[in-house]
Structure 1
């Protein structure tokens, strides 16, 4: 299969309009336009009955104690974990495009609804956990919410946009399912996959390098 993420070239920085957080000299970070990019895919294998779209960051600190803390840095040596930013399942086999801004157009405080969305069924992304301690933002975040890595992280983060062709029409997921649930449900049903990876950082030292 072939996947195109419009505006994002393989291995290159992700444009700010697709980000949840953008660089700010005054406050380190301010909200971005948080639009999902347009994605298109082709050459799905014979027998494809549905698609899964996901985007995740494998570079998220496993321990958040120093994240976004003045006078501290998130060490490059810290073990990293996956952070899911976008989960859409049960996308019909007839669909090969998600328009820009279709699943997200701006930061939505307290999150967007899970379940059936504009295209497919929305899973719950990890902003649900990350913002749980923020009284102005706490909520269930579903669908697309873009990059917002720690502004004091020593490494540049990578964001994998993926599409998976499946041999089933539905993964049978409902409610507040997350990225791990999607991966478990997909196991044994993936006919083919494609990926585009972009990068992003809010660390001014890395942005200038």
Structure 2
């Protein structure tokens, strides 16, 4: 099985139009275009009845104490956790692509509503937890929302877009399900999987690693 995102080479920096946040000309942060990239897959195994797509970043700080704080840096040796940026299940076995912009065309304060789409069923991403309690941004963030690593992180973040070929037509998930919920639900039903990875940083000192 093979997954392709033509907008950047596997392992290369992600262009900022696919990100939630970017480095502005001045200051530390501004929102970016937050467009989902087109993702394609091929060579699914015989018996595939549906697909799932999950994008995650395994490099998120396990503690937010130093995150985005002037005069501080998030140390490289801090334990890291998974952050889910895109959770999509119940994709038809006949589908081989999610087009660019189909699931996100900008930052939506409070989040996009998760649920049934023509290409599958979206769950909530981890911005739901990140913005919890924020008066301006808090809400349920469904569908795709792109990279926005801390601007003072000492490491480059890695974003894995993984497509799973499943032996089941429907994943029985309702309500505000998460990436962890989706992975648990499909765990015993994965026939094959493949990924395409990209990197992103918002640390000015690591600008060479940031997609222009």
TM-score by length of 1: 0.98
The equivalent residue for 1:81 is 81
User: Contact 1:11–1:199 at 8 Å: present in 2 too?
Assistant: yes
Cα offset, 1:171, TM superposition? 1.1
Alpha-carbon distance between aligned partners in 2 of 1:59 and 1:203, rounded to the nearest angstrom: 14
Alpha-carbon distance between aligned partners in 2 of 1:105 and 1:25, rounded to the nearest angstrom: 22
Alpha-carbon distance between aligned partners in 2 of 1:174 and 1:124, rounded to the nearest angstrom: 11
Alpha-carbon distance between aligned partners in 1 of 2:118 and 2:87, rounded to the nearest angstrom: 13
SS at 1:121 equivalent: strand
The equivalent residue for 1:70 is 70
SS at 2:78 equivalent: coil
SS at 1:188 equivalent: helix
The equivalent residue for 2:42 is 42
Cα offset, 1:25, TM superposition? 4.1
The equivalent residue for 1:124 is 124
User: Contact 1:13–1:199 at 8 Å: present in 2 too?
Assistant: yes
Alpha-carbon distance between aligned partners in 2 of 1:93 and 1:119, rounded to the nearest angstrom: 10
The equivalent residue for 1:15 is 15
Cα offset, 1:26, TM superposition? 2.4
Alignment of 1:190-209 (within 5 A): 190-208=190-208
Q: Deviations over 1:155-182 (max 9, x none)?
A: 0000000100000001100100001111
Alpha-carbon distance between aligned partners in 2 of 1:172 and 1:208, rounded to the nearest angstrom: 43
SS at 2:44 equivalent: coil
Q: Deviations over 1:166-204 (max 9, x none)?
A: 000011001000011111101110000010110000001
Cα offset, 1:45, TM superposition? 0.6
Alpha-carbon distance between aligned partners in 1 of 2:208 and 2:3, rounded to the nearest angstrom: 30
Q: Deviations over 1:106-161 (max 9, x none)?
A: 00110001111242010100000111132111110011000000000000000000
SS at 2:188 equivalent: coil
Runs of 4+ in 1 over 2 A off after TM superposition: none
- Matched pairs, number: 209
Q: Deviations over 1:14-41 (max 9, x none)?
A: 0011000011242311000000000111
The equivalent residue for 2:149 is 149
Higher mean C-alpha displacement, 126-135 vs 58-67: 126-135
Alpha-carbon distance between aligned partners in 2 of 1:112 and 1:46, rounded to the nearest angstrom: 34
Q: Which runs of 5+ in 1 are unaligned?
A: none
